[in-house]
């Protein structure tokens, strides 16, 4: 039996960064649903949170999982569920793009705290500012606009 411990910090936004998830109550419902659905699909979500226009999710990848499939299962099913239950005023969609960043064991607590504190974090900084910081910090700026 293989022993694998690979954590990925996923970040993705709503389509065109529209603030569909505009209430704490709605976000709570969506994050809970994503977590419950993930359990059914064998996906281990360590932490999940976000703000009106995006989601952060810390996932422990299983031996037979890959990044693309995880995002497809999480984002696709959750947008379907949100629309099925008419939780937003207009048709809900997630943006196709996403960030996927590996997290070392020594940084786990810091990432968990960061994800937990999204409400407070985004009182000071927009997701656009955060997006630009991530692209620069992790060297993704070379891929922008391609």
- Average pLDDT of the residues in 19-34: 97
pLDDT in tens, 90-115: 999 999 999 999 999 999 999 999 99
The reported pTM is 0.91
Among residues 146, 137, 73, the alpha carbon closest in space to that of 101 is found at 137
Mean pLDDT rounded to a whole number for the chain: 93
Q: What is the pLDDT of residue 144?
A: 54
pLDDT in tens, 2-11: 888 999 999 9
Residue ranges of domains in the chain, CATH in brackets:
6-141 (3.30.70.1290)
Work out the end-to-end distance of the chain between its first and last CA atoms, rounded to an integer number of angstroms: 41
pLDDT in tens, 56-96: 999 999 999 999 999 999 999 999 999 999 999 999 999 99
In whole angstroms, how far apart are CA 30 and each of 10, 26, 83, 86, 129?
A: 16, 6, 11, 12, 24
């Amino acid at each position: 039996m293989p022993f694998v411990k690979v954590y990925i910090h996923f970040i993705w936004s709503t389509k065109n960064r529209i603030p569909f998830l505009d209430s704490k109550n709605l976000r709570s419902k969506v994050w809970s649903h994503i977590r419950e659905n993930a359990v059914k699909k064998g996906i281990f979500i360590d932490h999940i949170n976000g703000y009106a226009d995006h989601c952060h999710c810390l996932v422990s990848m299983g031996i037979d999982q890959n990044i693309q499939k995880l995002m497809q299962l999480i984002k696709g099913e959750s947008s379907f569920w949100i629309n099925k239950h008419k939780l937003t005023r207009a048709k809900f969609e997630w943006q196709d793009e996403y960030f996927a960043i590996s997290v070392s064991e020594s940084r786990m607590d810091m990432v968990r705290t960061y994800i937990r504190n999204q409400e407070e974090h985004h009182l000071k900084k927009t997701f656009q500012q955060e997006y630009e910081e991530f692209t620069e910090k992790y060297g993704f700026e070379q891929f922008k606009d391609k």
